[in-house]
Structure 1
Amino acid sequence: MLDVRRLRLLRELAHRQTIAAVAEALTYTPSAVSQQLTALEREAGVPLLERTGRSVTLTPAALRLVEHAETILAVLEQATAELAATRTELTGTLRIGAFATAVHTILSPALVTLSREHPMLELLVTELDPAVAPAALRAETLDIALLQEYDHVPLAPEPGLDTEPMLEETVHLASLRAAGSDSGQDAQAPAKTLAAQSGSLWIAGTPGTLCHEMTVRACLAAGFTPRIRHHADDFATVLALVAAGQGVALVPDLGALSVPGGVRLTPLPTRRRTHLAYRRGTGAHPAIAAARRALHNAVSAHSAGSEADQAAASSRSVAMASRR
């Protein structure tokens, strides 16, 4: 009989590539991981790892076993979810991972709802870059998380996770407003606007983050490599640097709710999409289901408020134009 815990270690090795990375993620020692994988090989009766010095690669048999492991772990998660559904009150801990702009605008109202409707549920929030959220979900340090993708950086397939769309945003070019301009929008064609910034200095996220990758790929698609002067992961900081004349940047809707004076936002064809993600088999777990509802409702409320704000701003612009 194959040990489920050892199968999980093999699955993590397939994703993380090294025994050291698996050990760090799951709080084992590297030697303990190696011992457990060796025991799994004995249980399987076939070689699972090819060792070359300190590196290991998975054999074809191991890769096939990883596919079965994904199914087995998902079934166990589903069984746990069904057992939890028999309880009369929602208790336990729910670990949520989200990126910074979502914490401010979407997650906070969802937390208020969850706390009010399920007071016995302990909520733990971790702010993290979406690029590392899938690994945290597989390692079970998170139960539900917000993932992102951009047109130029699509979401990679995650066999052990289920995802569902939640929000789509426009990405804007943030730059200094031209002297004498009284509008935060740029009349220039969006396709030409980005290419026109090939000689500009840029502000981007920390290397390794999704925002940094998006900036680089969007500029490459426009025909140039950006000269990145500053790295900042908080969009308020990014916009402050733009306002200080330190460069231009790409900012999505959620990051552009408060724009400093003098900063112009030019909508681009690029979109950012946010997805809810959770381990396969957990979607019907009462805590996960409650969080899914609360987050979707928070997005709907935010979108409705944004539409109302845009309508009010448009009315003000028309009124100002009529007085000229």
Structure 2
Amino acid sequence: MIDLRQFQVLRAIAVNGSLAGAARQLHYGQPTISYHLSALEAHLGARLVERSPTGAVLTNIGALVLEHASVVLDRIEAVESDVEARRKHGVSTLRIGAFTTAASRLLPGALRRSTEGAGVRVELTEAEPLDLLTQVRARALHCALIYGIGDEKTQYGADLHVQTLFVDPYRLLLPTGHGQAGGTEPVDLALLAHEGWIISNGSYDPSDQTLFATCQSLGFRPRIVLRADNYSVIHGFVGAGGAVALVPELALEKGHGVVARPTVQDIGARRIQFVTLAGPRPPTVEHLYRELHRQYGGGVESQGIPGGADGCEDATASST
């Protein structure tokens, strides 16, 4: 019967080029190395290693055996690593979901710091909030970063634990050459009744909801000229002078020839929220939440998040 130690010995000989080197790597005596190699060769009925005064090399059959054995050894090491991670950190693979802006600007550093040295792998799913909530409820995700505009205690249901990290205010995005782009005073949206507007493709985006509600209160309906969900695309079209838009502070970008301005009207904000199932959370999930809260709990400007309010030309926006 094959012993896994025999495969370990064969791989150590291949790596070190000698039985003595294999013994040092595995912390065995050289007679033990010879014993396991002889037992494996006897079981397979073939010579696996050619020995010489200068060392040892695998035969063609030995290399074939090692190719198969390495798959087995790698799987065993993965099992050991996963069990250790699950025992210490509650999960071996952290499955997290996020909307695209959060995935690129909030998660990378926080994930690295909260999982560093833990042996925990990460699987990231990018999707919109409603889809992410469904996946959390189905236990396909351990946690998710979403955006919303309601009260977290009443909007989502008792089966979810929702915590607001920070409030992300909306800003009016104008081309730098626009008549309302200069100055320091907030812009009155009533002056933009004849402008073309960019909105999202879906029906959930909170910025669309606040835009239509505000414009209706001012007696006009915004004229839609483009639907897009990619904020770089939105910045590009606004910068080209083709439209205006409402954009959350977190999504503001440099280099597009645009200005982010506050408005006379209260256009509100969205909440950036951390979601898990209700009940106890694995330690790694808890560590991630604490790291996100520690770094971003003060909002976009307080952390100088790339692309935040200070990342837009001549931006006069500030967190609320």
Q: TM-score range by the shorter chain?
A: 0.5 to 0.7
Distance 1:251 1:312, change over 3 A: closer
Given residue 245 of structure 2, which amino acid in structure 1 is its aligned partner?
A
Normalising by structure 1, report the TM-score: 0.59
Q: How does 1:32-71 map to 2 (within 5 A)?
A: none
Shift of 1:216: 3.1
Structure 2 counterpart SS, 1:187: coil
Question: Is it true that 1:226 corresponds to 2:222 in the alignment?
Answer: yes
Q: How does 1:162-241 map to 2 (within 5 A)?
A: 162-178=161-177, 186-190=183-187, 193-210=188-205, 211-241=207-237
Distance 1:256 1:312, change over 3 A: closer
Shift of 1:228: 1.5
Question: Is it true that 1:260 corresponds to 2:268 in the alignment?
Answer: no
Distance 1:225 1:286, change over 3 A: same
Distance 1:242 1:279, change over 3 A: same
Indicate the residue corresponding to 2:66 in structure 1.
Answer: none
Superimposed CA distance per residue, residues 20-69 of structure 1 (whole angstroms, 9 cap, x where no aligned partner):
xxxxxxxxxxxxxxxxxxxxxxxxxxxxxxxxxxxxxxxxxxxxxxxxxx
Shift of 1:99: 1.3
State how far apart, in whole Å, the 2-side matches of 1:115 and 1:267 are: 38
Moved over 6 A (4+): 151-155, 309-313
Q: How big is the alpha-carbon RMSD for the aligned residues of Structure 1 and Structure 2? A: 3.6
Alpha-carbon contact 2:249-2:309 (below 8 Å) kept: no
Indicate the residue corresponding to 2:274 in structure 1.
Answer: 276
Count of aligned residue pairs for this structure pair? 224
Shift of 1:98: 1.0
Indicate the residue corresponding to 1:289 in structure 2.
Answer: 286
Structure 2 counterpart SS, 1:158: coil
Q: How does 1:37-116 map to 2 (within 5 A)?
A: 87-116=87-116
Shift of 1:200: 1.2
Given residue 123 of structure 1, which amino acid in structure 2 is its aligned partner?
V
State how far apart, in whole Å, the 1-side matches of 2:285 and 2:294 are: 14
Superimposed CA distance per residue, residues 195-242 of structure 1 (whole angstroms, 9 cap, x where no aligned partner):
322221111111223244444344334443222111111212111110
Given residue 138 of structure 1, which amino acid in structure 2 is its aligned partner?
R
| Structure 2, gaps ≥5 residues long | 1-83, 316-320
State how far apart, in whole Å, the 2-side matches of 1:152 and 1:255 are: 22
Q: Which has the higher contact order (CA 8 A, sep 6+)?
A: 1
Given residue 228 of structure 2, which amino acid in structure 1 is its aligned partner?
A
Indicate the residue corresponding to 1:139 in structure 2.
Answer: 138
Given residue 197 of structure 2, which amino acid in structure 1 is its aligned partner?
W
Alpha-carbon contact 1:185-1:265 (below 8 Å) kept: no
Distance 1:206 1:144, change over 3 A: same
Question: Is it true that 1:250 corresponds to 2:255 in the alignment?
Answer: no
Alpha-carbon contact 1:170-1:267 (below 8 Å) kept: no
Distance 1:311 1:110, change over 3 A: closer
Shift of 1:189: 3.8
Structure 2 counterpart SS, 1:126: strand
Distance 1:208 1:216, change over 3 A: same
Normalising by structure 2, report the TM-score: 0.60
Distance 1:157 1:220, change over 3 A: farther
Shift of 1:180: 8.8
Alpha-carbon contact 1:204-1:228 (below 8 Å) kept: yes
Percent of counterpart pairs with the same letter? 25
Structure 2 counterpart SS, 1:95: strand
Alpha-carbon contact 1:152-1:214 (below 8 Å) kept: no
Distance 1:258 1:218, change over 3 A: farther
Given residue 242 of structure 2, which amino acid in structure 1 is its aligned partner?
Q
Given residue 224 of structure 2, which amino acid in structure 1 is its aligned partner?
I
State how far apart, in whole Å, the 1-side matches of 2:153 and 2:89 are: 39
| Structure 1, gaps ≥5 residues long | 1-83, 318-324
Alpha-carbon contact 2:152-2:163 (below 8 Å) kept: no
Distance 1:132 1:154, change over 3 A: farther
Distance 1:201 1:89, change over 3 A: closer
Structure 2 counterpart SS, 1:246: coil
